[in-house]
């Protein structure tokens, strides 16, 4: 009986030591000059799963209406056809709202690096790391929580 109880206690202790990885949501924001950017990342075990970015910026005084239109259309065409990537924009008289939604479980690393959304890497097993992303964003003045 003592062996059974001892085994059960040991089993409960070991079960309590198991770590079940949970999805983590991290919010990073940046606001300076004409830029207001909010990025929400969902990750598991440091691997990015989802990125949802909303960025608003004033274009008046920085670009002509023709230039901003051309840039937005070019980006829209560049990103179209990539599975797991949704890009939209709303251009008004003074500012632009751009949204990027990236499902890293569907979009490939090569596709995202090919359009400049991830840094190119020589490692075939590369993945988008939350830790590296936060480190990179904070170096550019983002606040992440």
The gap from C-alpha 10 to its chain's centroid, in whole angstroms, comes to 41
In a domain, 66, yes or no: yes
In a domain, 128, yes or no: yes
Query: What pLDDT score was predicted for residue 123?
Result: 61
In a domain, 105, yes or no: yes
In a domain, 12, yes or no: no
SS (H, E, C) 72-119: HHHHHHHHCCCCCEEEEEEECCCEEEEEEEEECCCCCHHHHHHCCCCC
Per-residue pLDDT of 38-69, as tens digits, reads: 999 999 999 999 999 999 999 998 999 999 99
Query: What pLDDT score was predicted for residue 14?
Result: 36
In a domain, 15, yes or no: no
Which structural domain, as residue segments, surrounds residue 129? 21-144
Strand order in the sheet with 143-144: 85-91, 95-103, 47-58, 35-44, 24-32, 143-144
Is the pTM of the predicted complex or chain greater than 0.95? no
Query: What pLDDT score was predicted for residue 98?
Result: 98
Query: What pLDDT score was predicted for residue 16?
Result: 42
Per-residue pLDDT of 93-113, as tens digits, reads: 999 999 999 999 999 888 998
CATH number at residue 74: 3.30.1830.10
Look at the chain and report how many structural domains it folds into. Answer: 1
């Amino acid at each position: 009986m003592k062996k059974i109880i001892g085994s059960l206690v040991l089993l409960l202790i070991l079960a309590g030591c198991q770590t079940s990885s949970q999805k983590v949501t991290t919010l990073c924001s940046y606001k300076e000059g004409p830029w207001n950017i909010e990025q929400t990342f969902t990750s598991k075990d440091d691997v990015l799963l989802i990125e949802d970015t909303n960025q608003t910026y004033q274009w008046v005084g920085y670009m002509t209406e023709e230039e901003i239109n051309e840039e937005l259309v070019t980006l829209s065409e560049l990103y179209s056809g990539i599975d797991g990537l949704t890009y939209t924009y709303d251009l008004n008289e003074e500012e632009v709202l751009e949204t990027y939604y990236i499902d890293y479980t569907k979009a490939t690393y090569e596709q995202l690096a090919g359009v400049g959304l991830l840094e190119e890497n020589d490692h075939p097993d590369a993945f988008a790391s939350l830790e590296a992303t936060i480190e990179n964003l904070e170096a550019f003045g983002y606040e992440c929580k």
